[in-house]
């Protein structure tokens, strides 16, 4: 699923046997309770305006014991200190939220996920570019 039809068209060309679905960017997900064993949200959470609603919907469509995998840019203190917050959160940009490993982990736990693990990846120590989160419903 995606909120962008162009992205779905590219995916359909590459994987013609897979079902892809357009979903509203700000509404409920059109899937039943516990419909999935896995939700993979790659570079999504930082763009979501209503994070509470989105995480609640992700949790709703996950089956008990199912997993959430998420990636998002890492905005640790040293990275922001060196680059400035403007570099990562332009006033008219599409990144609405900046996450550290600690803040992302706390957020997932707050929304009832368990076995939460968040690690920084991709880059030199203290300047990792991405966060990889794993959590269980």
Q: CATH number for the domain including 44?
A: 3.40.50.150
- Residue 15 belongs to some domain of the structure: no
Q: Of 29, 38, 44, give the one whose Cα is nearest residue 104.
A: 44
- DSSP lists the bridge partners of residue 135 as 68
Q: How confident is the model at residue 80 (pLDDT cuts 50, 70, 90)?
A: low
In this prediction, residue 91 carries a pLDDT of 67
Residue 2 lies in a domain: no
Write down the pLDDT at residue 129. 86
Taking the C-alpha atoms of residue 71 and residue 33, their distance in angstroms, rounded to an integer, is: 23
Which pLDDT score, from 0 to 100, does residue 81 have? 64
Asked if the structure places residue 13 within a domain, the reply is no
Residue written as tokens 């794993």? 134
- Whether residue 11 is contained in a domain is answered as no
Q: List, for residues 105-129, the tens digit of each pLDDT value.
A: 999 999 999 999 999 999 888 778 8
Q: Does residue 88 surpass a pLDDT of 80?
A: no
Helix (H, G, I), strand (E, B) or coil at 20: coil
Which residue segment(s) compose the domain that 67 sits in?
A: 33-136
Per-residue pLDDT of 28-48, as tens digits, reads 999 999 999 999 999 999 988
Is there a domain that residue 23 lies in? Answer: no
Dihedral, CA atoms, 18, 51, 62, 20, nearest 10 degrees?
A: -10
Task: Say if residues 1 and 57 touch (Cβ distance below 8 Å).
Answer: no
| pLDDT higher than threshold 80 for residue 52 | yes
- Higher per-residue pLDDT: 96 or 131: 131
Say how many domains are in the chain: 1
**What local confidence, expressed as pLDDT, does residue 58 receive?**
96
Contacts of 2 (CB under 8 A, 6+ apart): 8, 11, 20, 22, 23
Alpha helices in the chain (DSSP H): 5-14, 51-61, 77-83, 85-88, 101-110
Q: State yes or no: pLDDT of 65 exceeds 90.
A: yes
The reply to whether 24 falls in a domain is no
How far is it, in rounded angstroms, from Cα 88 to Cα 115? 29
Q: Is residue 60 situated within a structural domain?
A: yes
Q: Which two tokens stand for residue 114?
A: 């368990």
Question: Is 5 inside a domain boundary?
Answer: no
Averaged confidence pLDDT in the chain:
89
């Amino acid at each position: 699923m995606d909120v962008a039809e162009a992205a779905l068209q590219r995916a359909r060309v590459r994987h013609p046997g897979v079902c892809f679905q357009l979903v509203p960017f700000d509404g409920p997900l059109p899937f039943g309770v516990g419909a999935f064993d896995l939700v993979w949200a790659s570079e999504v959470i930082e763009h979501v305006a209503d994070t509470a609603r989105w995480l609640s919907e992700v949790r709703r469509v996950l089956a008990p014991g199912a997993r959430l995998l998420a990636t998002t840019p890492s905005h640790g203190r040293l990275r922001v200190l060196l680059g400035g917050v403007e570099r990562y959160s332009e006033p008219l940009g599409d990144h609405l939220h900046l996450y550290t490993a600690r803040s992302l982990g706390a957020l997932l736990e707050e929304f009832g996920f368990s076995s939460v693990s968040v690690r920084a990846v991709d880059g030199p120590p203290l300047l990792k570019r991405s966060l990889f989160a794993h959590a269980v419903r």
